[in-house]
Chains A and B, each alone.
Chain A
Amino acid sequence: MPNIQELKNLTIQVRRDILRMVHKVNSGHPGGSLGCAEFFVALYQDIMNRKDHFEMDGIGEDLFFLSNGHISPVYYSVLARSGYFPVDELNTFRLIDSRLQGHPTTHEGLEGVRIASGSLGQGMSVAIGAAEAKKLNGDSHLIYSLHGDGELQEGQNWEAIMYAAAKKVDNLISTIDLNGKQIDGSTDDVLPMGSIKQKFEAFGWIVIDIEEGNSIEAILQGMAEAKSKTGHGKPVCVLLKTEMGNGVDFMMHTHAWHGKAPNDEQLEIALIQNAETLGDY
């Protein structure tokens, strides 16, 4: 298992991948991707107990579902750098005939992806289904999922949140990327959601806060705690407080980079702030 420094180095490389991917095609979603880089790296390199090759059924390993599919750049980068497909393929992001579609999909057979996502609000239901299948199969591995905070405005989530608690889906850890931003502005401006923590708790979930959601150490600690809470009759929610655009100073503290790619000059500045560690694709 990689040490903390290695995870940090990989995170920087993942940031470079994200920036270069969206820059090349002048489209995609860098903000949320950068905000979740540490989480994805920690998840795939440390937290999840997963096989080194891809099987759709995922029996006998932990599984991850990305519900907010627009942060595909970070997902693709970490999948590739975790060995699911060649890192060079990141070069094809959003291009014609690519397996790396704008939003993740199983349609082109990309290893590592088990469900299409992009239309928001559907991933928790799918994760619950996969968790129920694990129980039926007597498979004690866990299901992880990630959702945007703005995404919780989609009603299907609340059907799923209600179900998971009612039916004791306690092999599920759903993480909410609490960056407080969505396309049209801050979540508090667009549609204030009140206390997400209290809502999950009221529905019967165990809630774990990770205040420093861009710290590898904090994520490892928080997710270890989350894991320890599984198997106790309740689903587990992790509230991961992140900074959208993390690691690139001009992309932070704004929602402007939700779905906008940097230009040549901006890319250069962003890459200087994230010097190559493991080698660009």
Chain B
Amino acid sequence: MKTYENTGNKDTRSGFGAGLTELGQTNENVVALCADLIGSLKMDAFKANHPERFYQVGIAEANMIGIAAGLTIGGKIPFTGTFANFSTGRVYDQIRQSVAYSGKNVKICASHAGITLGEDGATHQILEDIGLMKMLPGMTVINTCDYNQTKAATLAIAEHNGPVYLRFGRPKVANFTSENQKFEIGKAIKLTEGSDITIVATGHLVWEALEASKALHQEGISAEVINIHTIKPLDDKAILESVSKTGCVVTAEEHNYLGGLGESVSRVLVKNNPLPQEFVATNDTFGESGTPTQLMDKYGLNSKAIVKAAKKAIKRK
């Protein structure tokens, strides 16, 4: 089976920062806004290089979203940056009316998503943001898996005309996708070929899915791992092609099972090819303080949990 090498742990938010820095040089219409989290979002370089195109709005996320919507009216491509919780739940109505319904070309870039934010605890660990964002008509929802992919996605969304939610995280995780990849919005990436189980994973769980596929391989189970970086629009075709071969699926995400990737995949299966599915996701709960590794273990969001879910799905075939 195909294996992937971790070229060294890196945080996905730094991938965003690198992408934004590059966009600053290549696209003069790109502007960036931040609500007092420049360091956390890795927006320092953009700010230093293009102070005239950078807006520090202070701790005022609602205003930030509105200003971003207004900037598009002069032909700008605004990238907003704050934590995922403050990028979505806190400003849902502002995004709904001023961005999504108004069809504005705003890129909502959200770091520290999910439980791997760690020690700050549940107030900051949003596990509902994918659901919130995917329900908005016209919103593209992307959750990248590593540094390289996050950088590539950041570059790609500047070329896409329409509102985008780009979700990434805080901790340093395996960096294993290719360095200068071309990111295609809405196009799933098949990472391994397999015949017994399809594992559809997003974000930090993609590497865990690869680790799970290795463990399953040891036990003679052949897993096909699909990297679903785009949750909306979902690559229905790639999922259906894979499950028609494997006959069952595990979805894996750092998000509540209600409203997340798993439910989107369920919809595709139910409408086209109803097959057993197991969910690796949080179980309708808030998070808590702890290290990312401890939390992923406690909340069942690692390769071990994926292996267990895969076996369960296979049994249900």
The yes or no answer to B186 lying at the interface (CB within 8 A) is no
Question: How long is the Cα–Cα vector from A58 to B53 in the complex, in angstroms?
Answer: 19
Q: Is the CB of A163 within 8 A of B70?
A: no
Instruction: Report A251 CB to chain B, min CB distance, Å.
Output: 28
The yes or no answer to A137 lying at the interface (CB within 8 A) is yes
Q: Is the CB of A57 within 8 A of B70?
A: no
Q: Is the CB of B102 within 8 A of A131?
A: no
* Contacts A125-B65, A156-B63; A163 near B73 (Cβ below 8 A): no
The yes or no answer to B31 lying at the interface (CB within 8 A) is yes
Question: How long is the Cα–Cα vector from A159 to B60 in the complex, in angstroms?
Answer: 6
Q: Is the CB of B75 within 8 A of A119?
A: no
The yes or no answer to B67 lying at the interface (CB within 8 A) is yes
Q: Is the CB of A156 within 8 A of B75?
A: no
- Interface residues in B47-70 by Cβ distance below 8 A to A read 52-53, 55, 57-58, 60, 62-70
Q: Is the CB of B66 within 8 A of A124?
A: yes
Of the 9-residue stretches B38-46, B90-98, B139-147, B193-201, which lies at the interface with chain A? B90-98
Q: Is the CB of B75 within 8 A of A137?
A: yes
Tell me whether chain B's interface is mostly helix, strand or loop, or mixed: helix
The yes or no answer to A129 lying at the interface (CB within 8 A) is yes
With beta carbons under 8 angstroms apart, the residue of A63, A160, A162 that contacts B73 is A63
Q: Is the CB of B98 within 8 A of A126?
A: yes
The yes or no answer to A115 lying at the interface (CB within 8 A) is yes
The residues of B that contact A106 with a CB separation of less than 8 Å are 101-103
Instruction: Report A110 CB to chain B, min CB distance, Å.
Output: 12
* Contacts A126-B98, A136-B74; A107 near B103 (Cβ below 8 A): yes
Question: How long is the Cα–Cα vector from A92 to B66 in the complex, in angstroms?
Answer: 29
The yes or no answer to B122 lying at the interface (CB within 8 A) is no
The yes or no answer to B76 lying at the interface (CB within 8 A) is yes
The yes or no answer to B173 lying at the interface (CB within 8 A) is no
Question: How long is the Cα–Cα vector from A127 to B68 in the complex, in angstroms?
Answer: 10
Q: Is the CB of A122 within 8 A of B101?
A: no
**Minimum CB distance partner of A103 in chain B:** B97
Q: Is the CB of B60 within 8 A of A129?
A: no
The residues of A that contact B55 with a CB separation of less than 8 Å are 132, 167
The residues of A that contact B101 with a CB separation of less than 8 Å are 105-107, 116
The residues of A that contact B68 with a CB separation of less than 8 Å are 129
The yes or no answer to B71 lying at the interface (CB within 8 A) is yes
Q: Is the CB of B67 within 8 A of A122?
A: no
Interface residues on B, range: 20 to 34
CB 8 Å contact bits of A151-195 with B (1 = contact, 0 = none): 000011001101100110000000000000000000000000000
Instruction: Report A140 CB to chain B, min CB distance, Å.
Output: 13
Question: How long is the Cα–Cα vector from A187 to B69 in the complex, in angstroms?
Answer: 29
The yes or no answer to A46 lying at the interface (CB within 8 A) is no
The residues of A that contact B104 with a CB separation of less than 8 Å are 115
Q: Is the CB of A160 within 8 A of B74?
A: no
Q: Is the CB of A136 within 8 A of B52?
A: yes
Q: Is the CB of B67 within 8 A of A126?
A: yes
Q: Is the CB of B62 within 8 A of A125?
A: yes
Q: Is the CB of A137 within 8 A of B74?
A: yes
Q: Is the CB of B52 within 8 A of A160?
A: no
With beta carbons under 8 angstroms apart, the residue of B31, B72, B97 that contacts A122 is B97
Q: Is the CB of B73 within 8 A of A130?
A: yes
The residues of A that contact B69 with a CB separation of less than 8 Å are 115, 125-126, 129
Instruction: Report A63 CB to chain B, min CB distance, Å.
Output: 7
Question: How long is the Cα–Cα vector from A117 to B72 in the complex, in angstroms?
Answer: 16
The yes or no answer to A196 lying at the interface (CB within 8 A) is no
* Contacts A105-B102, A115-B98, A119-B93; A156 near B53 (Cβ below 8 A): no
Q: Is the CB of B31 within 8 A of A136?
A: yes
The residues of B that contact A118 with a CB separation of less than 8 Å are 97
The residues of B that contact A125 with a CB separation of less than 8 Å are 62-67, 69-70, 94, 98
Can you list 7 A-B contacts (CB < 8 A)? A107-B103, A118-B97, A125-B65, A125-B66, A126-B98, A129-B66, A132-B55
The residues of B with any CB-CB pair to A shorter than 8 Å are 31, 52-53, 55, 57-58, 60, 62-76, 78, 93-94, 96-98, 101-104
Given A122-B97, A127-B70, 18 more A-B residue pairs with CB atoms under 8 Å apart are A58-B74, A59-B75, A63-B73, A107-B101, A115-B69, A115-B104, A116-B101, A116-B102, A125-B62, A125-B94, A129-B71, A130-B70, A130-B74, A132-B71, A133-B76, A139-B74, A156-B63, A163-B67
